[in-house]
Amino acid sequence: MIPDLRLRAAELADIEPVRAIERASAARFLGTERAWLADDDPTDAETLAERVGQGGLLVACDGATPVAFVMFREAEGCGYIEQVDVLPSHERRGIGARLIEAVAEAARMRGWPALTLSTFKDVPFNAPYYRRLGFEDVQILTPGMAEIRAEHEARGLDESSRVFMRRGV
């Protein structure tokens, strides 16, 4: 555990640190079938600014420095987790789980009954990790999930290797 870790809503000044966290975190994919993700561009600043404005971007800070983030938005009346990333230097300390619990709390406050996400089926720090946090595989996609899948395919993601998951809040 990190004694001085605190979670807070992201601010516009956090956009570049969040992008740097996303870049660094993508290195986890090196040495896997998805090594190309390590070279993928991070989320664009405009999208991050939108999430800041919507209250859909939280950061975890070690002291004053952001070391992890979660980005989420409303989709079909639920909280859709778009991205969770932790700096490699801070991995395996429960920070991602704490961020997801913070999104669950935000969902309860907003009246969202569940959290959803899409992730790789077979990457240990993806679907198996989320299953340990109480997410279950979705067998039949909702129209909103199908739309998100189409967005992913348009970005070049192989959706046959991914799964949608859901967890009540």
**How high is the pLDDT of residue 158?**
79
Residue 104 is classified by DSSP as H
List the CATH code of the domain at 5-168. Answer: 3.40.630.30
Say if residues 27 and 38 touch (Cβ distance below 8 Å). yes
**How high is the pLDDT of residue 67?**
97
Q: What is the β-pairing status of strands 114-120 and 78-86? A: parallel
Share of the chain above pLDDT 70, in %: 92
State how far the Cα of 61 lies from the Cα of 80, in Å rounded to an integer. Answer: 22
Q: What residues does each domain of the chain span?
A: 5-168
pTM of the complete model = 0.92
Average pLDDT over residues 4-26: 94
State how far the Cα of 3 lies from the Cα of 22, in Å rounded to an integer. Answer: 23
